[in-house]
Structure 1
């Protein structure tokens, strides 16, 4: 009997103790909040929530006011009596607070409002709600980045008139751009798993001082899930399981991640698999986009087959696998070791825009696939957050290795010759970034960087009837290298809360080496080796001035550069039907000069208007132009007489634009957001000014959002202006097979709009449902320069379960 009294007493104590504990959740995400400061009026009692959002409040009295404070949430005041028997408390998100801290501007945390440049921040809750299918779609959902797609397995960002190798991608601070990033459309961004992304920052405009070559038009910085420690002897275990279905492509996705957190060690494991079927376009739009027929590969040979449903874009489906493993070790409070391993692999990705080309009224290609695309990265970072050193207060060292593999497999209709070209890049990088507070008003950032890329490239022709392979010209000179060494510094001066000045300088030396002996067997180039040296000094200076709480001015001037890479110097490929690009060893770096002026009007956070205008001049622009090889303007390439072209410093470009964003709080639960981008620009071609290829049409979106405790609704529209035939760049006008035709039979990019609806319902603390109906009116359209039509009416359903 005594035993039962003891058990009963212990149970009462346990229940009493449970009543003295509280768990704090985000009202928006329903996830526990770490680091909530809980205190009374005189702060004689205070505790902080752990990674489970838990804290013991037994030391507070029942009637005293208890404060719950967190940087990214609204301060809450409540008594234990008001809490009653509930051990759960929900805090409302402070949207402005969530966007205050950015990393990409200096590699260390800074207050966003101090940065003279415009940076778009996307947090985890926004990513979860927008439910993007790829990281390209994640960027597109910002309304600030335009996405081009040549195929379903694609997504080439355009920012302020720049694209591809004039934009920089980083993952957890490591540069993703490599020596074969091309000037044509790129799909490398889709290698980043959107389920693994914790937050994203998009820098609009030059980032060359911090990031070097390629960061002319902007920087897209992806930060993935961080391992969470328990900081105690008990295990912190969290997990998420997500499934998603999309009707337009019959997409089926599965994702899992889990975190194991100990006192000093933490591990996070992340995996996703997606199967995309053939994408179905909308019913209402230009008939030019319909897929009326396709090539079937049979035992009897290639056959033209009528498409039973011309809205289905045969062949466009593919699969993708993403895996990530990260480890964190904190031996001391301010010393952190982070190891990240990332792996992505796709199936063959059909290049849809090449599969719809015709020659003499017959489909040109029986096969045109990107072979399996693979990306592996290992990333070791060591961060020390406080120091008594005279040289730095914070220091971060990053060592990374990446391996990229890609290939192209092509065969013409009824041809027995299959062309296969395979490439691989080994990329090594070292970064040392430091921060030092010189005075209470002045911070100094500086660092150095070294990058080395090695390119392997092979080509072969395969006879599908005999299975005999013979060597052929490779896409790049095999064994070529690209290396970059740089030193940079940046200073921030903030004399008061109203004014900030930031400035920086970077010197970068880039050396490319290539050996063309293997390809000279096929091309007979006038040179066998090439060495290209490009040194560039870039700088930036900007101010942020807030004379009062209503208005904020930003001004920034900068220079940027892009050094020729192996793709520019040594590439051999068919740029378009009837043309072939050949190597050019006489290239210099291109250089950009830019300025931006922005103003933000904040009317008591009820209405916020954000506007900016910018201008960029690009000198010595690297562009594709007609060329001659040993005096010949045409050569035979892949069995076709082709016009000879090469990348050359043959142009200047002028790009300008205006961006406006609006956020209006209609009620406490309803708000409106809208943004619109106006772009323009020209470049020199044959001594005349012509439109620039990567200047997108004017575009924007508008969202009307309603939120409650467990439900969020979003009704939104996306829209895009027309580009007439006269507004198309010459290289785009030649690709009439991807465009609609106007009344004169000339290609053009029609305007379009979509109406959409998205909702998210928190079923329980552990389960949430996200559903979207996109393109409700079933429009048939293509985003500018895209080879594949966008999805028609599309139902997307996603279920998330968290532990």
Structure 2
């Protein structure tokens, strides 16, 4: 028997024998129609309110005081009110289902504790991106979806990518979670990370972003925040009749000739349900805007004819040649609920891209007349996840609800490069198998006190290979691997505890802690290429982190939140064992002495509502980083420069800087102007530097959005502007100054990121209940701009047309 199956059998035996909840014939249980989860605090009463009841934390209420001829009413602020005769309740098996309101008074958040929570009770700043907004925005990738929230800044090295930046953190300092399972693996890099595009935005039911350390619930890597993606769920039917629903989508975008098709099918029975999702996208080379810095134009490119590389002058310099790619996503979920207290869901996720050109590398020049590379591309990026989620709704001394999650993920990625007039390709391949096990438990003591605790285990097995191949003769030679070529094991074990206390309906306290142990073992089998002074890297470390915060509503229009938290990130294999050329003339080498970095954070949120007309929100944070991992000059066997890939290069390594600080504020406002119009605006400002005064690489510029929205019946229209501030040369991180080819010239010969803004329009019209058409024009004024740190210029004027059908 497999270990995962054995764990589930033990849990089933334990819960079946000890933890079943008894419901008498004079009790009723209230559940959500789609979630099938118990709803507490449902007010239950008869016509004249002479008999009342309130559902408890298990969704159960006592009906013994009601008469059999009563009409029973069920009311909850977040659900549509319903009523049944006493006899109808009995005929339904004393189970009542309530449908959630389309706009619930208390928005439900899941990612903060792994269990459902009213947003106003959580002290962290969290945003939710619902399915409706995702569909309206029509993002091409999950990275574009995050950017459309106007709360997350996204960098792109190539079109097939997107690296989110949150509060001055990026890449492996942010955690990606899919259906409760962490995606970050041992080779998630510290530069710009493109793995988020593996998630299909068309298969999402919602997404949540936690701002600030999420270490207590999620462990290492959640320094700057957590991006949690919830995919489509198979919903059970409340009746014996089997139900089927089909959703279709087709979309075209003009800037890169996008063609996307999507299909999802849901089958719903009373105990069994499934959802199948499939998406495929094709993208041609991207066209940039016509008005902006000339430095961004694609003036030359390399064309290979036979066995000869030729420099070609672009006939259309707005076309970013060699940016196109394609992508396919498949998802399958099965849900089975054999008994009331047990819910099983199996999920399969698969994503695969075509070859993806690394556009920023294709812009590098060897000399003023010749590009450095004839070819540089990522091989197909593949991601697969198998996950089994089990939810037990029980009533034990230590458990109210228990969730067990077992997952296996497999990652495949590769890099292929060939320099101009060189017949040899350098090929590096990586494979990662990652296994995770999570146990998350909620215990509700009463209406005021709840505990959340759990355990996590994680194991990574990394394999790294490389070779050089002559594309003319077919000859092969060994070359250096990106990571150590021997055994690479990375594992963590952790336990956490969270506590919530509601003093009253206005004031809530959250506090928690987590202990994590991290181990890494990596061996070098062949050290002849780099002549390393060591053949093994070993790290064994642990950390205790905590958080405490309050959410207070002193009066109906006010909401105040205050939170203290700490986080840590242990070095992964990419930090300690990688060899690669970070920028022209620089090479990063392994540093076996690297230690964890720690973050200490304070943040606050103030929200004020002025009736139904206006809502304002202001939030701020300050993060102190200790032993921050940054790239600095280094020595290798006593030398500060070595020959690497045919180029004499300055040696660098990831090291622990003394400290760093990051701070910022964000503001948001929503104004309702009558029945149909509203105005929304947001703005984010962040600064950060290390203890030597250098700017931190992943601190985004000032950015924001302002939108005028019209919503009437089947039509929604939005005219909006996106805007970014400049980053002058003196606020560029040292590693960014080395990449002058990515930036505009400030007039003094220095690189800088100019300010920019775009005007955009999007609309959606529901022709009939089953058919909707979306239309958008992005970057109406055809601005030419390149988001900070990006290697590719953003799309120019872009026409979007999408058609959706629901069957």
TM-score after normalising by structure 1: 0.89
Q: Quote the residue 1:601 is aligned against.
A: 608
1:620-631 superposed matches below 5 A: 620-631=627-638
Q: SS state of the match for residue 659, structure 1?
A: strand
Counterpart in the other structure of 2:254: 247
**Matching residue of 1:636:** 643
Structure 1 564/33 Cα, relative in aligned 2: closer, same or farther at 3 Å? Answer: closer
Matched, 1:668 2:675: yes
Tell whether the 8 Å contact from 2:448 to 2:503 is kept in structure 1 after alignment: yes
Q: Using the TM superposition, give the Cα deviation of residue 255 of structure 1 relative to its aligned residue in structure 2, in angstroms.
A: 0.6
Among residues 503, 509, 514, which one is paired with 1:506 in the alignment?
514
Q: Deviations over 1:271-308 (max 9, x none)?
A: 00000000000001111100011000110410011111
Shift of the alpha carbon at 1:129?
1.1
CA RMSD across the alignment: 2.3
Cα distance, 1:759–1:41 mapped onto 2, change above 3 Å: farther
Question: Does residue 708 of structure 1 match 2:712?
Answer: yes
- Flag the 1:264–1:416 CA change in 2: closer, same or farther, 3 A: same
CA displacement at 1:465 relative to structure 2: 2.0
Pair 1:740 & 2:744 matched = yes
Structure 1 residues 707, 674: closer, same or farther in 2, change over 3 A?
A: same
1:743 Cα deviation from its structure 2 partner: 1.1
The SS at the match of 1:288 is helix
| 1:517 counterpart SS class | coil
Report the Cα offset of residue 72 of structure 1. 5.3
Tell me the residue number matched to 2:774: 770
- How far apart, CA to CA, are the structure 1 residues paired with 2:188 and 2:49? 56
Q: Indicate whether 1:447 and 2:451 are aligned.
A: no
Residue 374 (structure 2) aligns with: 366
Q: Distance in 1 between matches of 2:398 and 2:535?
A: 47
For the 8 Å contact 2:35–2:235, the answer to whether it is kept is no
User: What is the CA-CA distance between 1:617 and the residue it aligns to?
Assistant: 0.5
1:319 lines up with 2:319 in the alignment: no
Tell me, yes or no, if the aligned pair for 1:623 and 1:651 is still in contact at 8 Å.
no
Q: Structure 1's 733 and 444: CA in aligned 2 closer, same or farther, altered over 3 A?
A: same
Distance 2:688 2:614 in 1: 32
Indicate the residue corresponding to 2:734 in structure 1. Answer: 730
Q: 2:107 aligned with 1:103, yes or no?
A: no
1:170 maps to 2:170: no
Task: Determine if the alignment matches structure 1 residue 790 to structure 2 residue 797.
Answer: no
Q: Select the residue among 662, 666, 682 that pairs with 1:659.
A: 666
Residue 33 of structure 1 and its aligned partner are, at CA, apart by 12
Q: 1:280 aligns to what?
A: 287
1:397 aligns to 2:404 (yes or no): yes
Q: Which residue of 1 aligns with 2:536?
A: 529
Task: State whether residues 229 and 236 of structure 1, in contact with CA within 8 Å, keep that contact through their aligned partners in structure 2.
Answer: no
Cα drift, residue 507 of structure 1: 0.4
Matched, 1:468 2:460: no
Q: Aligned equivalents of 2:190 and 2:783: distance in 1?
A: 30
Residue 360 of structure 1 and its aligned partner are, at CA, apart by 1.2
Deviation string 1:58-90 (CA, Å, 9 cap, x unpaired) is: xxxxxxx9999786578799xxxxxxxxxxxxx
Aligned to 1:189: 196
490, 498, 501: which is aligned to 1:490? 498
Q: Is the 8 A contact 1:663 1:673 kept in 2?
A: yes
Displacement of 1:234 after TM fit?
A: 1.6
Moved more, 418-427 or 572-581: 572-581
Give the whole-Å Cα distance in 2 for the aligned partners of 1:584 and 1:691: 23
Contact 1:231–1:264 at 8 Å: present in 2 too?
A: no
Deviates most, 431-440 or 790-799? 431-440
Structure 1 spans left out of the alignment, 5+ residues: 1-30, 45-64, 78-90
Matched residue of 2:478: which SS?
Answer: strand
Q: Distance in 2 between matches of 1:318 and 1:290?
A: 20
Measured against aligned partners, the alpha-carbon deviations of 1:34-69 in whole angstroms (never above 9, x if no partner) come to 99999995699xxxxxxxxxxxxxxxxxxxx99997
Render the CA deviation track for 1:537-585: whole Å, top value 9, x for unaligned. 0000000111100111110000000000000111011111111111111
What is the deviation of 1:433?
Answer: 0.3
Check whether the contact 2:77–2:104 (CA below 8 A) recurs between aligned residues.
Answer: no
Q: Quickly say closer, same or farther: Cα 1:96–1:636, change in 2 above 3 A.
A: same
Q: TM-score, normalised on structure 2?
A: 0.88
Counterpart position of 2:56: none
Gaps of 5+ in 2: 1-32, 51-70, 84-98
Q: Distance in 1 between matches of 2:450 and 2:627?
A: 35
After the TM superposition, which segments of 4 or more aligned residues of structure 1 sit over 6 Å from their partners? Answer: 31-40, 65-70, 73-77
Q: How many angstroms apart in 1 are the aligned matches of 2:544 and 2:600?
A: 12
Question: What secondary structure is seen at the aligned counterpart in 1 of 2:693?
Answer: strand
Q: 2:413 aligns with which of 382, 398, 406?
A: 406
From 749, 756, 773, give the equivalent of 1:752: 756
For residue 470 of structure 1, report the CA deviation from its aligned partner: 1.4
Instruction: Indicate conservation of the 8 Å contact 1:294/1:363, yes or no.
Output: yes
- Where does residue 206 of structure 1 map in the other structure? 213
Residues 151-173 of structure 1, C-alpha deviations (whole Å, 9 max, x = no match): 00010000011100100000000
**Aligned counterpart, 1:378:** 386
User: In 2 relative to 1, CA 200–485 (structure 1 residues): closer, same or farther, beyond 3 Å?
Assistant: same
Deviation at 1:93, TM superposition (A): 6.3
Give me the whole-angstrom Cα distance separating, in 2, the residues matched to 1:764 and 1:40: 39
Cα separation, 1, equivalents of 2:48 and 2:793: 63
Q: Which residue of 2 aligns with 1:158?
A: 165
Whole-angstrom CA distance in 2 between matches of 1:67 and 1:222:
36
Matches of 2:579 and 2:711 in 1, distance apart?
54
CA contact (8 A) 2:657 2:690 kept: no
Residue 113 of structure 1 deviates from its aligned partner by 0.4
Question: Matched residue of 2:754: which SS?
Answer: coil
Mapped partners of 2:662, 2:414: distance in 1: 34
- The 1-side partners of 2:377 and 2:463 are apart by 20
